[in-house]
Amino acid sequence: MNSQIKALFRRVFRNTGYLLTGRGAMAVLALASTALAVRTLGLEDYGILLLMSSFVMSCAVATRFQAWQPLLQYGTSLYKAAEKKPFQTLFRHCSMLDALGALMGLAVALFSSIWLAHLSGWAAAYGHIPLWYMTVILFMNTGCAMGVLRLANRYELAVLADTAGSVVKFVGCVTGFFLHWTLPDFLLLWYCSTAVAFVLDYGLAFWVMARSDKLKGFRLVNVSWLSPIKGIWRFTFSTSLDQALGRLGSRLTVLIVGAVLGPENAAIYNVTWQISDGMARPAQMLTPALYPELVALRDKRDWASIRQVTNRILQALAIFSAVVLVVATFVGPWLLHLLLTVPWTGTRTLLLLMTITAILDLWDVPLEPLLVSLNKAHQIMIGRMVTMCFSLPLLYVLARAWGMTGAGFATLLSELAILLTRLGPYLIMNRNKSFEGKPEA
């Protein structure tokens, strides 16, 4: 590797270390919070809490614009060149996307809550989700703020807000365990942890911009809120829809399992995925740190370095995947039993299926940011849509036929199909040594 590539990897792994530290703390706190909530509410009520929060999160991610991606895709050169006015216009544009997505998500939640309550089985005991809890969607979109922190290379700050939200949730779960809180109390706790993370994210973003003199002359009135950059709306809708479908799919799988197999099995399925995904999470943290570097290489049209970086990361992921599979085989069942107090029998197969799914997701780590940076977000989005058209019905059919094993197998097939839609274009470009794809300016 030349000195440029070595410096790039040092930055990527340093920033990944920041993200990994924060995510590791969040994972530990999340697992502890889950164990406390299950022991306080019981597995059935915790499953209902999970289904309610999954429904609200599904509404949020289904309508969320990934505001950080256009901010990085089109704002990197503006930020580095200190072009304040066009960058401020782009910032207002992306913050408006956050607000618009939140309002759309709240509207979807209000209109669909009663129907979904009856479908999922919580209506008999709790009725529809309280209207006050649905307003938490207004605090779930912080993409623009995260984009600013990544542009400024302040990844150590980017994890503070989510970590603070996890701390609030954990402290609340400890309190609830000793005070014997009920389901509405835990709903309020989930609400407060989300609001805390939102305030910190945007507060830190404005603080970083102020320190770098990017807020000089910044206004909210009598200025343009729409960026004139050509192609920004196509890029925004493509990346946002792809991310929305991905996250919505993961939430809908929990809801489908709950509708077919009941709240208890939904809780087991979800926690099993959390364990599998948590073991693969260290490598997944490369994605947000890698994307800005690929954008910078794209702006320089350094295609040889792009190919070298991507191939090196894929080689490292092969080794990491083998380690994850071994750890899941020996540690996973014990951890699942510890968290949910369910017997080991019948959980090992599901855990292995979900671990293989998480490993397949790992191989997307360098591919998605590479294709997005080369302005191929539209192709990625189409691949996701085609995959979901068969994966969700397949999940329903296999879950009814084979129970939890069928649900795990359907999830694995879905992730394999998504990987192939990303791997195919990369292999073609790599073979042809052609990575042309600079977005319109």
Distance CA 41, CA 23 (A): 26
Assign 218 a pLDDT band (cuts: 50, 70, 90). Answer: confident
Q: What digits encode the pLDDT tens for the residues 67-76?
A: 988 998 888 8
Report pLDDT for 440.
Answer: 40
Any idea which of 16-20, 209-213, 279-283 has the lowest mean pLDDT? 279-283
Report pLDDT for 412.
Answer: 92
What is the mean predicted confidence (pLDDT) over 262-284?
Answer: 78
Is residue 44 helix, strand or coil? Answer: helix
The helix or strand, by DSSP H or E, that contains position 136, with its residue range, turns out to be none
Distance CA 257, CA 219 (A): 48
Report DSSP letters for 171-228, one per residue.
Answer: HHHHHHHHHT--HHHHHHHHHHHHHHHHHHHHHHHHHHHHHTTTTTT--SSSS--S--
Any idea which of 85-94, 231-240, 371-380, 412-421 has the lowest mean pLDDT? 371-380
pLDDT at residue 219 greater than cutoff 70? yes
pLDDT at residue 99 greater than cutoff 90? yes
Report pLDDT for 441.
Answer: 40
Q: What is the mean pLDDT of the chain?
A: 83
Report pLDDT for 128.
Answer: 57
The pTM of the full predicted model, rounded to 2 decimals, is 0.73
Report pLDDT for 200.
Answer: 94
Any idea which of 164-178, 267-281, 345-359, 425-439 has the lowest mean pLDDT? 425-439
In whole angstroms, how large is the CA radius of gyration of the chain? Answer: 22
Any idea which of 183-192, 359-368, 431-440 has the lowest mean pLDDT? 431-440
Report pLDDT for 438.
Answer: 44
Report pLDDT for 345.
Answer: 53
pLDDT at residue 178 greater than cutoff 90? yes
Assign 439 a pLDDT band (cuts: 50, 70, 90). Answer: very low
What is the mean predicted confidence (pLDDT) over 270-283?
Answer: 76
| Percent of the chain whose pLDDT exceeds 70 | 89
Report pLDDT for 7.
Answer: 81
Instruction: Break the chain into its structural domains and give their ranges.
Output: 3-432
**Displacement of CA 259 from its chain's centroid (Å):** 24
| Percent of the chain whose pLDDT exceeds 90 | 21
pLDDT higher for 189 or 254? Answer: 189
Distance CA 166, CA 419 (A): 30
Assign 151 a pLDDT band (cuts: 50, 70, 90). Answer: confident
What is the mean predicted confidence (pLDDT) over 11-40?
Answer: 85
Cβ-Cβ contacts under 8 Å for 100 (sequence gap 6 or more): 65
Assign 119 a pLDDT band (cuts: 50, 70, 90). Answer: low
